Amino acid sequence: MITRRRFLERTGILAAGLSVNKLPSPQSQVLPTLDPERLSPYVDPLLIPVIAHSSGFRPSPEDPEVQLPYYRMAMRQIESKVHRDLPATRMWGFGSSSPGPTFETRSGQGLLVEWVNELPERHFLPIDHTLHGAEANLPEVRSVIHLHGGKTPPGSDGYPEHWYVPGKSATFHYPNRQDAAMLFYHDHTMGINRLNIYAGLQGLYFLRDEVEDSLNLPRGKYEVPLLIYDRFLLPDGRLEYPVSPKPKAPWVPEVFGNAILVNGKLFPYLDVEPRKYRFRVMNGSNGRFYRLSLGKLLVFQQIGTEQGLLPAPISVQRAVMAPAERIDFVFDFSAHAGENILLRSDAFDLMQFRVAAKGAPDTSALPPNLRSIARIPESHAVMTRRLTLGERLDLVQQSMGMLLNNTPWHMPVTEKPILNTTEIWELVNLTEDAHPIHLHLVRFQILDRRPFDTFEFQGKGTIRFTGPAVPPAPSESGWKDTVRADPGLITRIIIPFEGFTGRYVWHCHILEHEDNEMMRPYEVVSAGGAP
Ligand code: C2O
Ligand code: CU
Ligand code: CU
């Protein structure tokens, strides 16, 4: 079946018959490709992004009496070594690295970040000026940063149209009034965010709280972030972004690189002690899905999703991760002293853990109960919105694009949830792809996924279910901010709209889709505003 084939292609499973690490890519026939298989694996240590440091305090925009830590983060063009035997790669990063420095902060501790655009005036990746929001009369290099998963006031959320050019900056306020979680920051510029993120504009953001502290999970050097993303690299180390055969419309619907990087390195290794570690994993790819496993399908304990801890650890052997999804897991290397263990995504080896023979005593814990999460009853929802994920033929591009609810970005706002109410959104996927759907501002729970007759829906607009509703897997049963909407299914999520009123966005997190109309504004209104 086509749908299954597309999913397999995206996870790379179809390539499993090929030799390991040889990642097929659309342009592999035309470019002199780098063959990662010919590079020695596990010669570079895993790089842990540095922790961001504040430079003083500034008054809070909410209350000038309150002083908040102030951070200055400059976006710059950098050169970065992806692998020992490759020349340095030109990228865009924050400060001197990509991924950028990691924020460490606490729930309730607000902070200010001045995101400074110090990028060059010219882009080094192929802009498609036929895309809405990337027209040829606009400056090539524009940026605006969004904190993904943040409950952020609208003026600081990084609205895609609020981009600015080199030499300018914007200071955003993150109140952080939300549970402990691993968020991430990334560019969100209209029409080019796929290129800006691919160039390197992303980084991690940790929020801690007392619930998490009390659990005594592995911490410090025993808590390791793993930001995973694929890139297309040439043998001279250059970063290449694939293009369509149409020079005036280079947009491509999806990108699969030939190299899968972990924290910016190709095939890194990490020396570990024979004890418990906590891994905070994030899929930072433009479009690739992963199905992670450790060694020969070793069992690990998943303890969290995008928006924080699960109620209890769950034993898993594999974790499927769509772009922007995060998982939090604990693995105990104590039974593997002296071994080398690979982190893999199906047939692809990503990195190696080298377990020492001995280590310091492990005083960390993995408690049986983590954080209570009340399931939101469906009866709490004041309304249900049926929203389609569909395809469209683009007459200018003569290519297929994707649309949310058949409505392009620039049309008036149609989704106006009322602050402090709960809604159910039914994501009706009419396409052959799985789309990771993300809403800004909020966290949500998955209710279920149910197959339906897509032809009948497209013909008559009626829903005829063709199978039972499937509740979310235990690994998806926590608080989410991004959900896989699989093809041929209606994925239902239940969303409390809390925090702020104002204009936000929701979109597919396959960045090529997002940049080409698979994004819509939505607006949280106060009671009395239009639904
Ligand atoms: Cu990761 Cu609109 O965001
Ligand atoms: Cu977001
Ligand atoms: Cu999509």
Torsion sign across C-alpha atoms 487, 378, 525, 416: positive
pLDDT the model gives residue 5: 44
Q: Global pTM? A: 0.94
Q: Where in the chain is the domain with CATH 2.60.40.420?
A: 34-211, 220-355, 378-524
SS3 400: strand
Ligand 2: centre distance to CA 43 (Å): 35
pLDDT over threshold 60, residue 240: yes
For the segment 197-208, what is each residue's pLDDT rounded down to a tens digit?
999 999 999 999
pLDDT the model gives residue 401: 79
CA distance 465 to 182: 36
Q: Distance between terminal CA atoms of the chain?
A: 40
Give the fold, CATH level 3, of 220-355. Answer: Immunoglobulin-like (2.60.40)
SS3 475: helix
CA distance 407 to 387: 10
Q: How confident is the model at residue 399 (pLDDT cuts 50, 70, 90)?
A: low
Ligand 3 ion: Cβ-proximal residues, 5 Å cutoff:
435, 508, 510, 513
pLDDT over threshold 80, residue 531: no
Ligand 2: centre distance to CA 181 (Å): 14
Query: Is residue 186 in contact with ligand 1, taking CB distance under 6 Å?
Result: yes
**Comparing C-alpha atoms, which of 259, 329, 321 is closest to residue 299?**
329
CA distance 527 to 531: 9
Q: How confident is the model at residue 394 (pLDDT cuts 50, 70, 90)?
A: low
Residue nearest to atom 3 of ligand 1 (CA): 148
CATH code of 34-211, in short, is: 2.60.40.420
Give the right CATH number for 378-524 from 1.10.10.60, 3.40.190.150, 2.60.40.420, 3.30.930.10: 2.60.40.420
Q: What is the mean pLDDT of residues 344-351?
A: 95
For the segment 148-173, what is each residue's pLDDT rounded down to a tens digit?
999 999 999 999 999 999 999 999 99
For the segment 258-294, what is each residue's pLDDT rounded down to a tens digit?
999 999 999 999 999 999 999 999 999 999 999 999 9
DSSP state of 261: E
Q: What is the mean pLDDT of residues 475-499?
A: 97
pLDDT the model gives residue 398: 60
pLDDT the model gives residue 182: 98
Ligand 2 ion: Cβ-proximal residues, 5 Å cutoff:
148, 440
Ligand 1: centre distance to CA 426 (Å): 20
| 440 CA closest ligand 1 atom index | 2
CA distance 266 to 259: 7
Residue nearest to atom 1 of ligand 1 (CA): 148
Query: Is residue 188 in contact with ligand 1, taking CB distance under 6 Å?
Result: yes
pLDDT over threshold 70, residue 30: no
- Token readout for 31 is 């470019």
Q: Which amino acid is at 10?
A: R
pLDDT the model gives residue 188: 98
Query: Is residue 438 in contact with ligand 1, taking CB distance under 6 Å?
Result: yes
CA distance 88 to 91: 9
Reduce the secondary structure of 148-215 to three states and give it as a string: ECCCCCHHHCCCCCCCECCCCEEEEEECCCCCCEEEEEEECCCCCHHHHHHHCCEEEEEEECHHHHHC
